[in-house]
């Protein structure tokens, strides 16, 4: 990575954190202005501000409180800084991959605070490209998904308090599960489904979040890999385990677009896996350990996509 690009990426994270801090401080400060009106020989002061299309006004009497004046002036200064930082972020965003930078910062924050999760979802593909050298299609996504094993064994940390300084706020899906968003990216937490047909979110009390419960996720804990970076580490599934999971999920997809996206990802990953005799052996060996129905469905898929020979041909 060039020095210039690295500097831009570091500045992007700095500005994102500063913007979040400034926005929080602005929320606590009074908006508007102090206006003066002369009535007779006396001058009266008013605090005026907008609420939607309406202008609110509160009489302050013949003297405006100095602390109110200071607070309003502080807010105006911060609003000016906010606008300047937003402009800087927009400029940097045109020069670097903000998706990767944002995801890496989240992963780093989780790792450095002892949070044990597994990175899954579409953002796993850039990891395969960078750390495994896989030749994969570039798939842009705003979703960053983390798999949580229950019962949770990691450090108890309030995730909301960790994500707030980098501009993320909490929200909830229709099933009650937690997600965090900064208006562009969405962070979600997943956990294996316990019992077929369960659609309730699972509370992860130590992290103060509720995870979305989905089928087939348990296998993503098999044969996991630790990725080591400068100053932090994180966990990902093995490429073949991830691909097999996608195959099983794609069979249940109702959305044609999502199913096609799954197929694109699976085929690209497994082509890379089967290029190497070593990883091909590991992938096929793991396949034999799966439940018979899963194994059959995956083998049928591999045959249809010409990723392996049918057992009749071997």
Please state the three-class secondary structure of 93-111 as a single string.
HCCCCHHHHHHHHHHHHHH
| Last residue within a domain, chosen from 237, 259, 278 | 237
CATH number at residue 147: 3.30.460
Nearest to 75 by CA among 53, 44, 47, 43: 47
Q: Are residues 142 and 89 both part of a single domain?
A: no
* 178-181 and 54-61 strand pairing: unpaired
State both tokens at 251: 């069979």
Cβ 156 vs Cβ 131: under 8 Å:
no
Q: Do 110 and 215 fall into the same domain?
A: yes
DSSP letters along the chain, please? --HHHHHHHHHHHHHHHHHHHHHHHHHTS--SEEEEEEETTEEEEEEEEEETTEEEEEEEETS--HHHHHHHHHHHHHHHHHHHHHHHHHHHHTTS-HHHHHHHHHHHHHHHTT---EEESTTHHHHHHHHS---------SEEEEE--SS--S----HHHHHGGGT-EEEE-TTS-EEEESSS-EEEEEEE-SSTT--SPEEEGGGTEEEEEETTGGGGGTT-EEEEETTEEEEE--HHHHHHHHHHHHTT---HHHHHHHHHHHHHHHHHHTTSHHHHHHHHHHHTTS-HHHHHHHHHHHHHTTSS--TTT-
- The count of structural domains within the chain is 3
**Do 184 and 121 reside in the same domain of the chain?**
yes
The predicted structure's pLDDT at residue 198: 61
Strands 42-51 and 54-61 come out as antiparallel
> Computed from CA positions of residues 190, 192, 196, 201, in that sequence, does the dihedral angle turn out positive or negative?
negative
Answer yes or no: are the C-beta atoms of 190 and 150 closer than 8 Å.
Answer: no
Boundary-marking domain end, from 185, 212, 237: 237
Cα–Cα distance between 20 and 302 in angstroms, integer? 47
pLDDT value, residue 313: 47
Q: Mark whether 210 and 281 lie in a shared domain.
A: no
Is residue 200 domain-shared with residue 281, that is, in the same domain?
no
Other Cβ atoms within 10 Å of 177 Cβ, number: 21
Indicate if 72 and 199 belong to the same structural domain: no
Taking the CA atoms of 307, 305, 218 and 311 in sequence, report the sign of the dihedral they define.
negative
- Do the beta carbons of residue 144 and residue 124 sit within 8 Å? no
Tokens representing residue 279 in the block: 């990883």
| Segments forming the whole domain that contains residue 263 | 238-314
30 and 42 together in one domain = yes
**Looking at the structure, do residues 106 and 231 belong to the same domain, yes or no?**
yes
pLDDT per position in the chain (314 positions), as tens? 566 677 888 888 889 999 999 999 999 999 999 999 999 889 999 999 999 889 999 999 999 999 999 999 999 999 999 999 999 888 888 877 787 788 889 999 999 999 999 999 888 888 898 889 998 876 667 889 999 999 998 899 999 999 999 999 999 999 999 999 998 889 999 999 876 656 689 999 999 999 999 989 999 999 999 999 988 999 999 999 999 999 998 888 777 887 888 888 899 999 999 999 999 999 999 999 999 999 999 999 999 888 876 555 44
For residue 243, the model assigns a pLDDT of 95
Asked whether residue 179 falls in the same domain as residue 287, the answer is: no
Indicate whether 255 and 285 sit together in one domain. yes
Alpha-carbon torsion 233, 238, 243, 247, what sign? Answer: negative
181 and 107 in one domain?
yes
| 111 lies in the same domain as 39 | no
**68, 93, 118 - which closes a domain:** 93
Identify the residue whose tokens are 């911060």: 78
């Amino acid at each position: 990575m060039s020095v210039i690009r690295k500097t831009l990426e570091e500045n992007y994270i700095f500005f994102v954190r500063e913007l979040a801090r400034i926005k929080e401080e602005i929320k606590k400060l009074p908006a508007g202005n102090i206006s003066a009106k002369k009535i007779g020989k006396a001058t009266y002061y008013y605090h005026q501000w907008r609420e939607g299309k309406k202008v609110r006004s509160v009489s302050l009497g013949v003297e405006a409180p100095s602390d109110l004046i200071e607070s309003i002036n502080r807010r105006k200064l911060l609003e000016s800084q906010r606008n300047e930082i937003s402009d800087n972020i927009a400029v940097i965003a045109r020069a670097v991959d903000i998706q990767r930078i944002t995801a890496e910062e989240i992963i780093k924050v989780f790792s450095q605070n002892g949070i044990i999760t597994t990175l899954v979802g579409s953002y796993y593909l850039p990891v395969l490209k960078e750390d495994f050298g896989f030749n994969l299609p570039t798939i842009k996504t705003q979703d960053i998904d983390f798999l949580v094993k229950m019962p949770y064994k990691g450090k108890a940390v309030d995730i909301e308090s960790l994500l707030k300084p980098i501009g993320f706020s909490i929200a909830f899906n229709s099933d009650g599960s937690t997600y965090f968003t900064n208006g562009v990216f969405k962070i979600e937490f997943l956990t294996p489904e316990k019992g077929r047909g369960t659609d309730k979110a699972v509370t992860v009390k130590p992290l103060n979040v509720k995870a979305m419960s989905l089928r087939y996720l348990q296998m993503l804990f098999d044969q996991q890999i630790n990725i080591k970076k400068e100053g932090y580490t994180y966990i990902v599934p093995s490429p073949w385990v991830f691909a097999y999971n996608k195959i099983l999920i794609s069979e249940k997809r109702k959305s044609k677009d999502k199913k096609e996206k799954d197929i694109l990802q699976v085929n690209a990953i497994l082509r890379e896996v089967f290029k190497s005799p070593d990883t091909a052996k590991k992938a096929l060996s793991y396949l034999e350990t799966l439940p018979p129905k899963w194994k059959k469905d995956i083998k049928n898929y591999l045959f249809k996509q010409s990723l392996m020979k049918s057992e009749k041909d071997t």
